[in-house]
Homo-oligomer: A and B are copies of this chain.
């Protein structure tokens, strides 16, 4: 017997709004994409627009397999190979960025809002919160400096509990 199909999108991943902040518009995404494409002599295509649309409308924090599933629902005409191939393009266009890692180890992506933030994931309700703390950022630079390193990026994931459900012993 195969293990049960996982829920399509754990609730924390499907939020359309993060924590109140204004996010990029779809037009922003198109602009980023076009500028990247022309910069690298690449061509416009329907598929990448459709993929961006699926992400913009239906996904917030997602793995590539998540995205494949979503696309099969909303844009079944797009082959999964195309989705895998568009990943690197959307990444280097600055449209997506890696945000955190799954419980199961899959890399999770999100729209690159250009507003740096880190994540708190609630183990009880599976909600994903975003936060930003300049104080912490400052500390981090100091830590890196003490190793003779200069910081580029960091990935910071907090796991917490809201006690929404009873804890099991």
Contacts and interface: CB of A to CB of B under 8 A. Distances in A.
Interface of A: 101, 104-107, 120, 122-123, 129, 131, 133, 135-136, 139-140, 143-144, 146-163
A153 to B, nearest CB: 5
A155 B161 CA distance: 15
A148 B136 contact: no
Nearest to A144: B160
- Sorted nearest first, the 8 A-B pairs with minimum C-beta distance are A105-B107, A149-B160, A101-B101, A154-B158, A155-B157, A156-B156, A153-B159, A136-B139
B131 A135 contact: no
A162 B107 CA distance: 25
A50 to B, nearest CB: 24
Nearest to A156: B156
Contacts of A133: 139, 143
Contact of A101 (B105, B131, B147, B163): B105
Contacts of A161: 149-150, 152
28 contacts: A101-B105, A105-B107, A120-B143, A120-B147, A122-B149, A129-B147, A129-B149, A131-B147, A136-B136, A136-B140, A136-B143, A144-B158, A147-B160, A148-B162, A149-B160, A149-B161, A149-B162, A150-B161, A150-B162, A151-B158, A151-B159, A151-B160, A152-B159, A152-B161, A153-B159, A154-B159, A155-B156, A155-B157
